[in-house]
Amino acid sequence: MRKVFLCCLACAGMFFNISAQELQNTQEFIPKHEVYAGFGLLNDNQMGSMFADIFSTVITLGYLVEPGEYRAFTPFVGYRYCFTKRFSLGGVFAYDVNSVKVYNNATPDQKREVNRYFMTYAVEPKFNYVSKPAFQFYGYLGLGATIVTFGSATFKDGSKAELSRVPYVNVHVTPIGIKFGEEFGGFVELGYGYKGILNAGINFRF
């Protein structure tokens, strides 16, 4: 009877030891790298440009700038490095284009469309409120710079409006983000800034 008891105790010990090792290995495995891509709806570059163009006419070297065409969606790509299951840090690149109409004071009937290109580079620390293998509930704050590049407009009379490249600080706040999937998945975010009010896309972790 004693031998049977000792044998059962040994088997139970081996079982719990193996289970503990498997659990430890599972807990220790956290994907360190994440790449993602998506689209944002109505970001601050587009909205700010539109309202500025509507409510104030910009005078540049004797030329007037008035509203043109604006885009609702902003594409972006990014990378994050996961330090713990709660905290990660990464960078993002977002791209925007819109246009304005430029004309000379002396010839207001001769208008030319000029594109404005917005390139945003930012750093984003991200914190997971809830972190599961196939589900994350998170928020983050992004801080970076947007560089807007203006083209040059040539008019029928041969005159030109040479416009420049202007950098400025830009931010993005996302208090609510939901990510689903393990290695490959998708995400939806609610916030405002250089990405947009509502963002969605796909991600891959490895």
Cβ neighbours of residue 116 closer than 8 Å, sequence gap 6 or more: 49, 97, 98, 99, 100, 148, 149, 150, 151
The lowest-confidence range among 3-17, 28-42, 143-157 is 3-17
Tell me the pLDDT tens digit for each residue of 74-91. 999 999 999 999 999 999
100 closest CA partner among 165, 47, 49, 159: 49
Tell me the pLDDT tens digit for each residue of 154-205. 555 555 555 678 899 999 999 999 999 999 999 999 999 999 999 999 999 9
The pLDDT assigned to 20 comes to 46
pTM for this entry: 0.77
In the predicted model, is pLDDT for residue 23 greater than 50? no
Could you give the domains of the chain? 30-205 (2.40.160.20)
The pLDDT assigned to 5 comes to 41
Structure tokens at 123: 């750093």
